[in-house]
């Protein structure tokens, strides 16, 4: 009896083990290919060269600006150079107007000389030549507060905010996920409870409304330039847009964001009733009203007779903000995708499915490029209409959370893909990539796919000075990329894409309700 129980117990355990291994066993992994991908990715990486050209030589890439187009053309040359096919800048619709900075100069000249670290906000006007005059601190809380200035602000250099609080930072600039944090990430988040809109939020919205009214009034008064404190400290300025890309929208007054420490110095001097003289010149140009928006695409064609019309996609957004050179946001993602393609080409991989790389336009304006692409190729949300490639896409893998290495992947509430991803990660746990979470992550282009029921995924990445330093700031430059992390990420990306391109079936999809609201579109 005792013996029989033991045998039964063993059998149950064995069955359980077999069951849990079943899905993994269904994933036929090519370990020789994995070793070759690891060698090509980790030992022969070319990712550094790509990033120096993309960031240092071509620089920031506001959507569809002349710099964006030049950088795109350079990528096409590189793509052809490594043997990719169908390389193109593919229009997806109308973007609107772009913006280009030609010159910026600012300094305090009285009571002392101080060159000013700053950056014009995108989509704002230039100044009318060099403006030189007193800094005017206007702390209006309502539009009526401005009445006293009527007729007195022509060509004025105006500051609208008081001294900024710059608390000491005790938190580290960068961090890697600990084992405990990764384990926590694998657990379901607490159920979401919608909170009533708090009074603080309403207060902020009311203030924003007043600020818009004030901006309109200042424009009408012919103010020369608005000087704002940039978010950030240590001379780093987080700067994005101050106007609109829409055709025909009014061009806002020239607006510059300057280093908060320097802004505070000017404010404190003015508050002591000591006059401050500033000199500012901005030359900026709005490009044509109705520019076509363009994504950059290139492929490794599939070879399997039945599967070559199917697709595996990878990429990240190509557009950037303009303060730095768009290195971590999102040169990193483009470089990881391109390097993954290079690894596969260098190994002579003949994928069963076609592998398509895409660099998206205008992610920062609300996933404009990827949404346009998805509407043209896969599914038109407004018409609720399937397009030719909807049934052919296996998966899209996105990279857009700075230059931190891949620690795992978000399964976007698609339970069926979890055991597949776990199987792919199992032989690369030593690279630090081992976590699959069912959770969603948002804020970037995989949502354009996810929102129409297509398997679109973003990786879990370590946060390396991303939120603290580089994301949308003037310090988003090559020096703040972690090259070892990106080399790891490209290797993992190549392995994921390879597996998706070779497995017998496309990746399973989750339930899609065409009537569900579109996902939020905050750019990341
Ligand atoms: Zn981004």
Q: Measure 402 CA to ligand 1 centroid, in angstroms.
A: 8
Give me the pLDDT at residue 6, please.
60
Q: Which residue has the tokens 């931190």?
A: 404
Distance of alpha carbon 357 from alpha carbon 338, whole angstroms = 7
Ligand 1 center to 2 CA (angstroms) = 62
Q: Give the distance (Å) from ligand 1 centre to CA of residue 472.
A: 8
DSSP letter at 320?
A: -
80 Cα: distance to centroid of ligand 1 (angstroms): 25
pLDDT at residue 449 tops 50: yes
Q: Quick one: average pLDDT of 95-123?
A: 97
CA 503 to chain centre: 29
CA of 365 to the centre of ligand 1 (A): 11
Distance 489 CA to ligand 1 centre (A): 16
Q: Are 66 and 58 in contact (CB under 8 A)?
A: no
Ligand 1 center to residue 50 CA distance, Å?
Answer: 18
179 C-alpha to center of ligand 1: Å? 26
77 Cα to the center of ligand 1, angstroms: 24
* CA nearest neighbour of 389 among 498, 294, 497, 308: 308
Q: Which residue has the higher pLDDT, 10 or 129?
A: 129
Contacts of 139 (CB under 8 A, 6+ apart): 160, 161, 162
C-alpha 316 – ligand 1 centre gap (Å): 8
**Total number of residues shown for the chain:** 524
CA 69–ligand 1 middle distance (angstroms): 18
Res 49 pLDDT > 90 = yes
In the reported structure, the alpha carbon of residue 395 is separated from the centroid of ligand 1 by a whole-number distance in angstroms of: 20
Q: 364-413: per-residue pLDDT in tens?
A: 999 999 999 999 999 999 999 999 999 999 999 999 999 999 999 999 99
Confidence of residue 192 (pLDDT cuts 50, 70, 90): confident
Residue 22 in this model has a pLDDT that exceeds 50: yes
Structure token digits, residue 223: 């103010």
Q: How far is the CA of 199 from the centre of ligand 1 (A)?
A: 31
Please give the distance, rounded to the nearest whole angstrom, from the Cα atom of residue 448 to the centre of ligand 1: 14
Q: What is the pLDDT of residues 91-107, one digit of tens each?
A: 999 999 999 999 999 99
What predicted TM-score, i.e. pTM, was given to this entire model? Answer: 0.92
For residue 309, the CA-to-ligand 1 centroid distance in Å is 30
In angstroms, what is the span from residue 401 Cα to ligand 1's centroid? 6
**If you measure from the C-alpha of residue 471 to the centroid of ligand 1, how many angstroms do you get, rounded to a whole number?**
8
Q: Which residue has the tokens 């746990």?
A: 429
Banded model confidence at residue 189, pLDDT cuts 50, 70, 90: confident
205 CA from centroid of ligand 1 (Å): 26
Residue 441 CA to ligand 1 centre (angstroms): 13
Report which of residues 20 and 336 the model is more confident about: 336
CA of 400 to the centre of ligand 1 (A): 5
How close is the Cα of 219 to the center of ligand 1, in Å? 32
Report how far ligand 1's centroid is from the alpha carbon of 21 (Å).
37
pLDDT at 1 over 50: no
SS3 readout for 228-268: EECECCCCCCECCECCCCCCCCCCCCCEEEECHHHHHHHHH
Query: What are the phi and psi torsion angles at 370 (to 5°)?
Result: -70, -35
Ligand 1 centroid distance, CA of 162 (Å): 31
pLDDT on residue 9: 58
Instruction: Return all residues near 394 (Cβ < 8 A) that are at least 6 apart.
Output: 310, 311, 312, 353, 455, 500, 501, 506, 507
Confidence label for 205 from pLDDT (cuts 50, 70 and 90): confident
In whole angstroms, what is the distance from residue 395 CA to residue 406 CA?
Answer: 18
Averaged over 77-86, what is the pLDDT? 98
Confidence (pLDDT) at 508: 98
* CA 524 / ligand 1 centre spacing (Å): 4
State the distance from the centre of ligand 1 to the C-alpha of 326, rounded, in angstroms: 9
Q: How far is the CA of 56 from the centre of ligand 1 (A)?
A: 18
CA of 328 to the centre of ligand 1 (A): 8
Query: What is the 278 CA–ligand 1 centroid distance (Å)?
Result: 34
Band of pLDDT at residue 10, cut at 50, 70 and 90 = low
- Mean pLDDT, residues 420-448: 96
CA 394 to ligand 1 centroid distance, Å: 23
Question: pLDDT by residue (tens digit) across 140-171?
Answer: 888 888 889 999 999 999 999 999 999 999 99
Compute, in angstroms, the gap from residue 239 CA to the centroid of ligand 1: 14
Q: How confident is the model at residue 2 (pLDDT cuts 50, 70, 90)?
A: very low
What is the sign of the dihedral through the CA atoms of 320, 323, 328 and 334?
positive
> What is the 470 CA–ligand 1 centroid distance (Å)?
11
Ligand 1 center–CA 232 separation, angstroms: 18
């Amino acid at each position: 009896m005792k013996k029989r129980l033991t045998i039964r117990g063993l059998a149950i355990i064995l069955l359980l083990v077999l069951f849990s291994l079943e899905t993994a066993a269904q994933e036929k992994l090519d370990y020789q290919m994995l070793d070759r991908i690891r060698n090509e990715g980790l030992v022969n990486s070319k990712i550094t060269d790509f990033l120096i050209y993309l960031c240092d030589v071509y620089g920031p890439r506001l959507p569809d600006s002349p710099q964006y187009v030049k950088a795109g053309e350079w990528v096409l040359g590189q793509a052809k150079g490594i043997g990719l096919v169908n390389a193109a800048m593919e229009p997806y619709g109308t973007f609107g107007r772009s913006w280009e900075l030609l010159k910026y100069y600012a300094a305090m000249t009285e009571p002392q000389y101080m060159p000013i670290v700053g950056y014009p906000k995108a989509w704002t006007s230039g100044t009318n030549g060099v403006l030189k005059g007193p800094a005017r601190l206007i702390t209006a809380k309502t539009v009526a507060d401005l009445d006293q200035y009527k007729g007195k602000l022509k060509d004025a250099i105006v500051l609208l905010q008081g001294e900024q609080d710059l608390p000491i930072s005790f938190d580290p600039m960068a961090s890697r996920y600990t084992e405990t944090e990764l384990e926590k990430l694998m657990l379901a988040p607490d159920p979401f409870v919608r909170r009533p809109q708090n009074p603080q939020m309403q207060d902020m919205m009311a203030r924003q409304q007043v600020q818009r009214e004030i901006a309109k009034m200042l424009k009408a008064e012919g103010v020369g330039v608005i000087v704002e404190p940039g978010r950030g400290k240590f001379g780093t300025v987080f700067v994005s847009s101050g106007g609109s890309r829409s055709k025909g929208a009014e061009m806002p007054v020239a607006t510059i964001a300057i280093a908060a420490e320097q802004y505070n110095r000017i404010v404190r001097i003015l508050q002591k009733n000591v006059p401050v003289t500033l000199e500012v010149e901005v030359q900026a140009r709005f490009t044509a009203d109705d520019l076509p928006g363009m994504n950059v695409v290139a492929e490794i064609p599939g070879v399997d007779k039945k599967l070559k019309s199917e697709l595996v996609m990878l990429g990240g957004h190509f557009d950037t903000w303009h303060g730095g050179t768009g290195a971590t946001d999102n040169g990193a993602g483009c470089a990881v995708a391109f390097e993954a393609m290079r690894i596969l080409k260098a190994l002579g991989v003949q994928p069963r499915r076609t592998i398509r790389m895409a660099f998206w336009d205008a992610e920062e304006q609300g996933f404009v490029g990827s949404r346009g692409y998805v509407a043209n190729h896969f599914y038109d949300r407004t018409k609720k209409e399937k397009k030719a490639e909807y049934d052919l896409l296996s998966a899209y893998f996105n990279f857009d959370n700075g230059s931190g290495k891949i620690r795992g992947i978000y399964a976007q509430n698609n339970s069926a893909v979890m055991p597949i991803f776990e199987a792919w990660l199992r032989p690369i746990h030593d690279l630090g990539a081992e976590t699959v979470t069912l959770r969603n992550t948002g804020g970037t282009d995989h949502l354009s796919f996810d929102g129409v029921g297509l398997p679109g995924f973003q990786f879990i990445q370590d946060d390396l000075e991303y939120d603290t330093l580089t994301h949308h700031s003037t310090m988003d430059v090559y020096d703040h990329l972690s090259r070892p992390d990106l080399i790891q990420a490209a290797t993992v990306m190549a392995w994921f894409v390879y597996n998706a391109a070779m497995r017998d079936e496309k990746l399973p999809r989750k339930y899609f309700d065409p009537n569900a609201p579109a996902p939020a579109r905050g750019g990341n």
